A and B are shown apart, each in its own frame.
Chain A
């Protein structure tokens, strides 16, 4: 327990070592091949973006990586070790945090409680009991609140938040666990442009501090601006991979999803 926590919280190996890897991962639902043979490497201290049109299997791939969706085929490796049989709840303890495509906050819990949920797995027995007596909030929670700028809404219930704010609360919840790999499923969906820029800015800052990230999005501009590397998918299959500008210019990617006009986005 302690060892995994230490690994999760502090260990920051040199940027560029592979932390998470998928080998020929496939998820089939009957005849539908949602994900079909994806090889992916996530390197420490980098942001890898997974790009693709709706229904291309991005979120399913994320589900497979976080073990919420069973694999039909292939292997998932964390630090070179196959975790295909590890219970999904153990992954959070090993430093993997994620957000979902839709807002998933507990409706009856104020924002603060929702964010604390992210940090709860790191609490030891003593802190748990102390919290019953007086309201103590772990440092990782206050830090996550500060970073995502949701300090004004801590007492509100999720139903009272704007969509953009709710998404930021979700990012805060994920950050509160002090993950070493953060996976975000369309974090800026439903946000307006300034909010998007803010999030992109935050993700880059976190990257600079060494937080490895996997970003699933279909906002191409944001992907080009934010990611160090892109992997493009279409119909469950790998289409292209490499530097964002190159991937966006790749004819196969453009045909699948982008349209010629995104050439300009790549050139900027």
Chain B
């Protein structure tokens, strides 16, 4: 265990950092907000942490915290700016926000180190810190998916007008989601800079949008657990896939296409459906009409049933 831990430090770190980044996009999606601003916040966090530690010798935790705060504020302002946008247009606007920050980083002169970036962001941040932060975030998000708050967010996503009529401040929830997304993205970016001791425009580029989105689509967009599944798969998959060499990207592409078409709710969605059906089968006997109904659906749809019980899970982990 210990040797495994030591030899896989980098992968373990990236798993949790990717998870936080993926969550910064999953959180808005859960509220029906199609925003990639989390990737822009990743850049904000990454550069803020690096600049503060290199130039002002600020302790790592403080530097990351400053980035998180800054990105949360920027997230709030961005929410005001794009308040009238939704769907694809909101997605485009927030992608351009992320790209804009990349351009700023490249042209930031001495402050950002230009195209070469910044080096020597030495800090005391360790893998354990990253895991601790990720665990706290996961627990909080898991709580936010339950109870009254979870229902509120569900309502905002599924039917904003209904949510309003039920007394939910939809605009407030949307703004909050931008703030949380900003904080999560910046946290991921800040920790990444300090663990790698370096940041450059390349590390905060467009590929992060693709990575994060891929994790969410494969894992499942409607829960933190989906992002976690996605983060684990896509951090460890490359090391498993190195045998296929340059075909790696093709395998990625096929996986995403397959998931988008056949498993729209991600692996988590599959597990949940499967679990639900298993539960049902155990419980339902009484009301004759209802019981007959379930058994008919099950009988009509054996393929999906099998899939739900783990068929494609195997395919997704070649």
Residues of A within 8 A of B (CB): 66, 68, 87-93, 97-98, 100, 104, 106-109, 113, 116-118, 120-121, 123, 128, 131-132, 152, 160, 173, 177
Decide if A68 touches B166 in the complex (CB within 8 Å).
no
- The answer on a CB contact under 8 Å between A123 and B148 is yes
Instruction: Please give the distance in Å from B14's CB to the nearest CB on chain A.
Output: 31
The answer to whether A120 touches B152, judged by C-beta atoms less than 8 angstroms apart, is yes
Whether the Cβ atoms of A120 and B159 lie closer than 8 Å is: no
Compute how far the CA of A100 lies from the CA of B271 in the bound complex, rounded to whole angstroms: 33
Query: Which single member of B143, B154, B158, B164 contacts A89 (CB below 8 Å)?
Result: B164
- Give bound CA distance, A68 to B161, whole Å: 7
What 5 pairs between A and B have smallest CB-CB spacing? A92-B167, A121-B167, A131-B147, A120-B148, A89-B164
Q: A91-B165, A120-B152, A123-B148 are in contact. List 6 more A-B contacts (CB 8 A).
A: A89-B163, A92-B166, A106-B155, A106-B158, A120-B166, A132-B146
A166 to B149: give the CA distance in the assembly, Å: 23
Give 1 or 0 for each of B166-191: 1 = CB within 8 Å of chain A CB: 11111000000000000000000000
Contact B166 A177 (CB under 8 A): yes
Residues of A close to B164: CB separation below 8 A: 68, 88-89
Q: Could you say which of B149, B151, B152, B165 contacts A92, with CB atoms under 8 Å apart? A: B165
Closest chain A CB from B165 CB (angstroms): 6
Interface core residue of B151, B155, B166 (most chain A CB under 10 Å)? B166
Tell me if B287 is interfacial: C-beta within 8 Å of chain A.
Answer: yes
Number of interface residues of B (CB under 8 A): 24
Is A89 within 8 A of B168, CB to CB?
yes
Contacts A120-B148, A128-B149 hold; do A66 and B155 have CB atoms under 8 A apart? no
Q: Are B149 and A87 in contact (CB under 8 A)?
A: no
Least CB distance, A82 to chain B, in whole angstroms: 19
Whether the pair B151, A89 counts as a contact (CB closer than 8 A) is no
Give chain B residues whose Cβ lies under 8 Å from the Cβ of A160: 293
Contact flag A100-B162 (CB < 8 Å), given A116-B148, A131-B148, A132-B143: yes
Contact at B170–A109, with CB atoms within 8 Å? no
Chain B's closest residue to A121 (CB) is B167
**Which residue of A93, A107, A116 contacts B151 across the interface (Cβ within 8 Å)?**
A116
Whether the Cβ atoms of B169 and A89 lie closer than 8 Å is: yes
Do A68 and B165 touch across chains, with their CB atoms under 8 A apart? yes
Please report the C-alpha to C-alpha distance between residue A68 and residue B170 in the assembled complex, in whole angstroms. 13
Chain A residues with CB under 8 Å of B167's CB are 89-93, 120-121, 177
Q: List 10 A-B contacts (CB under 8 A).
A: A68-B165, A90-B167, A91-B167, A92-B165, A97-B165, A104-B159, A106-B151, A109-B151, A120-B151, A173-B166
With A123-B148, A131-B147 as given contacts, are A109 and B154 in contact (CB-CB < 8 Å)? Answer: yes
Nearest-CB residue, chain A, relative to B165: A98
Q: Which residues of A contact B168 (CB under 8 A)?
A: 89, 121
Assess whether A89 is in contact with B170, with CB atoms less than 8 Å apart: yes
Complex contacts, B155 vs chain A, CB 8 Å: 106, 117
Question: Which partner residue on chain B sits nearest A66 by CB separation?
Answer: B165
Q: Which residues of B contact A87 (CB under 8 A)?
A: 169
Q: Roughly how many angstroms separate A87 CA and B172 CA in the complex, as a whole number?
A: 12
Q: How far is the CA of A117 from the CA of B158 in the complex (A)?
A: 13
Cβ of A2 to closest chain B Cβ, rounded Å: 15
Q: Which residues of A contact B161 (CB under 8 A)?
A: 68
CA distance A33 to B260 in the complex (A): 44
Which chain A residue shows the least CB distance to B284? A155
Q: Which of B147, B149, B154, B170 contacts A106 (CB 8 A)?
A: B154
Q: In the complex, which residues of chain A have a beta carbon less than 8 angstroms from the beta carbon of B287?
A: 152
